[in-house]
Structure formats: C-alpha cells, structure tokens
Chain A
Amino acid sequence: MSEPLSRPPKKNPQLRQKVATLPPLARSRAAMGLTAAAARGSFSLQHCSECATVQYPPRDACSACLCVDLEWRETDRGGSVVAQTTIHASPDPYYRQRLPWRSGLVKLDAGPSIFCHLHGDVRRGDRISMDIKLDRAGQGVMIALPAGRMPNMEDDPQLRTLTANPRHRRVLVTDIRAPWAVPLVHELIKAGASHVFVGEAEGWRRATPHESLASLEQVSILQLDVTDANSVKKLAAGIGGKTDILINTARHVRPGGVVGGDTVFARDEMEVNAFGLMRLAQAFGPAMASRTDDGINSAAAFVNILSASAMSAEPGYGAFSASQAAAYSISQTLRGEFRASGLRVMNVFVGPTDDEWHQQMPPPKVAPQALAKAVVDGLVCGLEDVYCGDFAKDIEERWRRDAKVLERELTGGEHG
C-alpha cells in the first residue's frame, strides 16, 4: 500500500530551489505513437494488419512479418510481472534525484513483454493493469499499475511524477463567472487541493456565486480580469509563486456567424479567450515553470477549457470558433515553451455546454458538473488532451479520421 502523502511543510527559504530536470527525451517517430496515446489516456499499441502481432517497442515494420502496415489500436491492459528490480544508481540527473526507482518486466496478455516503471504496490508475479502516461519530458512511458484499486495508489511517488494530481496542490481557477467554476472548485477540494484561488473580474458587479464560495475555508476570491494585463500581473505578483495548477475557466461566447456577426463581440471573444490566455501564460508561466520540481506541491499543470470548435469551426458560433482555434494554437506554443520545465499544458475540449449561450442547441449538452469532473479526472490521470462529453469525443474522432470530411459536414447547411 502506498504511503499517503502528507501536506508539505512550509519551505525552508535558505535552500536553493530544485531546478527542473527531464527524463530522457529522444524518441523515434514511431515511438511518438505512445506519446499520442498517453496524451488522451488511451492504451494503444501497434497491431500488424498482416499477421495481427501486437508489437512493443514501436517500430516502422512488424517484427514478425516485416509488414509496414501497423495500426495503433486500443489494447488489453492486462498482464503479469515477470521480473522486478530497484535501481539505486543512475548517471541520469533526472533519475539520480529520484532514486531508488523501481522497474520491471511485464508480460502483457496481448503478447509483448515490456520493460516498464512499476507502481509501488506491484510485485513479481502480480496481475497488473498497464498504462501509458506522459512523463515530465512529455513522452509516453509505460507504468504497471495494480490490477485493482489500492488505498492511496495515486500517492505513489513514481505515479505522481506522471500526473498533475491536485492533491496537496494550490489551484487558481481564473473566472468565478464561468458556469463550471463552482462545481470545479468543489471537485478540486474533493480531490484534496490544499487551496483554491478563484479570480473575480469587476468586483463592482459582484458575481452570483461570490458568497457561497467565499464562505469555504480553502477558497480565496481574488481580483482577476484576464482582459486587463495589469490585473493579471498584479495577481501573479501575489500568488504566482504558489500557484501549482492554473485552470483557465474564463470564456466569452456569443452565438452568431461571421457574415452576419459583429466584430465587437468577436473582439471580446478574442480578448478573453485568446489574449486572456496569453496574458495568464505571460504572468504566471515563468514562475510556474521554475517550480516544477518543488516537492509535493510542485507546479504541475496549466489547463485550458476549449470548445471542440477549436478543431473545426462551428458556423453557428463563427467568431467564437475563431477565438477557440486561436486559443488552441496558443496552447500548442505554450507546450513548446514549457517543455524544458516539464510544466504540462492540458486542454479540455468540450462540445455545447448546458448554459445561457446554448439555449437553442439540442442535447447532448455538457453539464457544468460533468465538465468540472472531466478537468479533475484529467489532472489525476495526467492527460494532455481531454475530450469531455459525446459531442467533443465525436468531433475528435472525426477530425482524426479526416479533417476535411468533418469540415464539409460541419459546414453543410441545413443537413450539416
């Protein structure tokens, strides 16, 4: 059983801050398939279309029949631990800081034998459930987890480096007015966040949930307007050094296309959804990136909530879709800029939400509570791309299959 993590003590201000190190970064292009699977929480391996061999490690051709038609397919996670070892010495700076480190050999029921990280509750001979997770370098790695739930299993130190678990972390939720802000705060507290800072713009027109959240002990409501660079800088000057997870809930949405639309609304959408994200990243990013190795409450993730229309425009919300595509693009640049620090950028894609701006849309719509849960689950699992709800999942699947076909379908007029 994993030792439960206890709340970290206050830092010794005379000690040098630990500098972030990354595990080995290099991968072949074929091996990037593991990274792509880990990003969305899928357990996919290469399956040979000719002889059906399931192959690991990933290669450009089938190791059994040399066929080059290999498909990444969801695979059975079950397996057994054949051998285990504990590493006490390593020339690699990342592992040197984390020794001892447990590894082992697992025989998957699907075929391949895999040398992987071992969760602390896993021993030789145990049945396990294999997972691919993104490591600090943003690459997919294999970790053998207990086959069933174990007490405090998320607190296992090896697993925790592969996730952005909110437990014992301090979280900033940037906009109290988002319909999902209140359920998100409650989910974070339930997940063990030690404190939740909630941003409120324009205190001169108090947000409805202000009183209910202000009464919670672990919550502070602070002034933050993502459209105002000075407001963002001021808050970062106050709490930037103790923000471990930032969840950008600020969103401005108005229905309407482009031809009949309005550039004033469009500008507001860009100001909040795209430039707001940029201002947050500029003000909070550097401090968070400097604290990715700061112990139990190290900085772990920068989270965006994006519409599925970021992938392909929804013409009924044309200008909004443009702002979402812009925000998505900015989040990709942030991934590049935060890569060296290991700070994770997690995007949560969502379809139409059940709120005042999607009143006429038919179901399925995503309830604020469901979105809040998807955000916290994504952090606990260490995902990079979360697709919340059937609508977003469907768009993502169609986008991956053929982006042009999806575009044609979404822009099809009446029958689109």
Chain B
Amino acid sequence: MAEILACLASALAGGDVEIIDLTHTLDPDFPVIVLPPEFGQCARFRMEEVSAYDHRGPAWKWHNISMNEHTGTHFDAPVHWVSGRDVANGAVDEIDPAMFIGPVVVLDCSKGASSDDDFELTPKIIADWEVQHGKIPAGSWVLMRTDWSRRTGAQYLNMRDDGPHSPGPTPAAIECLLERNIRGFGTETVGTDAGQGMHYSPPYPAHHLLHGAGKYGLQCLKNLDRLPPTGAILVAPPLKIKGGTGSPLRVLAITPARGK
C-alpha cells in the first residue's frame, strides 16, 4: 500500500492531483445563523491584537480569537442536535479520525437554486444523479452544490420578514441519503438545512435526521463548482475540542487536476 501514497505524493508534486480549498476566510463580517433574539446567538468571529512587535511584545505579533463552534465554514458533530445527544462518540474529540478523510460526491443543484431561492434537494434529484453516476457509495460525503457561496452581504442569508430563504434538502432526500449510509452532508449555505427548514416535518430535517443517525454536517463551503461529481477525496478534520458540538475548520478536496 505504500506505493499508493508514493503515487499520490508524486501526483501532487507533478500537478496531476490538485488541492482545492472549500473554506471561506474567517472574517468578523462573515454571516452567521441568526436565531430569534430571545435565544442565545452564534458568536461572530472576533480577533483582538495581543501584541504587534510593540511594547506589548517587541518581536512578535499575535491575536486572541473568539467565535462559536458553528462560525464560518464549520463541521457539525452528532451531539450538535438533540436527536444526536446520545450518539456514541458524537462529539468532535471522540469521532474516529478515519471519518475526517473520505470520498465525496457532489450533487449539482446550481441551476435550480439560481432561479429558486427555496430550491429543494429531493429524492428524484438523487435518483437522477445515480442514473448518470451510479449509486452513491456508502461512507461518502455528499455535498449539495448551489453556487450560493458566491452571494455576499444581505443576499447570503437572504432574510425576509418570514425568515431566511436558501436552498436545502427535504426530509425525504435526507432519508434517501441515510439509506445509502453516507458519512455526512454538506452545503454552501449557512446551515445544512434550507432557510425555511423549520417548516418541514421534522423541522430542520438535515440536522434532525443526520445527527440522529450519527452522521456529520459541513456548511458554508465554497468552490464546489471545482469538484467532479465523483472521484474526489475530502479532508475535513475539526478541531479536537473536548465535548465540542462542531468546529470551524479548513476543508480541502483532493481531486484529479482538471484537463489531466
């Protein structure tokens, strides 16, 4: 098996395999999920200078940073949701590290999402995808591409008087993915669920069903348009936070270089 790694190393060095960064920059002004104001809120990313080659530390610069576990591009562990509270090894520090690197498939919903802010991922879309690319392999990350990550400012949460409007999966779609025993589900939006996901039964089906089944979530991803439908490997290790329900992280994809 050592040849596989040697082969990968030379493919990386030779440019036959490329690394794609699926991560947004941690920026104080990047949107986070907004709950009704009487609930506790997701802390925004903040950075405070401790010293900058000055009287507070003459030869070095460093910052204190603060945020929520679910700020920016982040990983959701099963214990994040009430349905996953009793899942064994359901916190980020307990998850088998083998789960952090694995195959990824991409369901392209960008066309539908471009004309419908509330576009739904349905079992039919999954079935049609499988006709073309074969059955989603067990243990895969499944990413829903919507090109939503290109939106900036108020367009990203797309908040209206009745709450946010952004695409996401229906409960049936998540059940369909669970039947395939996926590893986890990821999106370009602020959460794995649709903006209006509270109106499904169960509410927030991606969170409720995935985490209840011990699966993981990834959100606020970008550059999904640079991934092939199948054949890439996702590297997504969250920080090892004791009892953590999630973590900001760097998500990388290893893909065959385009045009090679």
Contacts and interface: CB of A to CB of B under 8 A. Distances in A.
Contacts of B37: 356
Contacts of B156: 204
A204 B29 contact: yes
Given A228-B46, A229-B48, A229-B49, A205 B40 contact: no
A262 interface: yes
Interface residues of A, number: 17
A357 to B, nearest CB: 9
Contacts, number: 41
A113 interface: no
A204 B159 CA distance: 9
A204 B154 contact: yes
Sorting the interface of chain B by its residue count into under 10, 10 to 19, 20 to 34 or 35 or more gives: 10 to 19
Contacts of A225: 28-29
A205 B49 contact: no
A264 B42 CA distance: 10
Nearest to A279: B48
A158 to B, nearest CB: 43
Contacts of B48: 229
Interface string A219-237: 0000101011111000000
B14 to A, nearest CB: 41
A204 B31 contact: yes
Contacts of B95: none
A203 B153 contact: yes
A117 B122 CA distance: 80
State the majority secondary structure of interface residues on A: helix
State the majority secondary structure of interface residues on B: loop
B154 A265 contact: no
A205 B41 contact: no
Given A203-B154, A204-B156, A227 B44 contact: yes
Interface string B57-99: 0000000000000000000000000000000000000000000
Interface of B: 28-31, 34, 37, 40-41, 44, 46-49, 152-154, 156-157, 159
The 7 nearest A-B residue pairs measured at CB? A204-B31, A228-B28, A206-B154, A204-B153, A264-B40, A204-B154, A205-B159
30 contacts: A202-B29, A202-B44, A203-B29, A203-B153, A204-B29, A204-B30, A204-B31, A204-B152, A204-B153, A204-B154, A204-B156, A205-B31, A205-B34, A205-B154, A205-B157, A206-B159, A225-B28, A225-B29, A228-B28, A228-B44, A228-B46, A229-B49, A230-B28, A230-B47, A231-B28, A231-B29, A264-B40, A265-B40, A268-B41, A356-B37
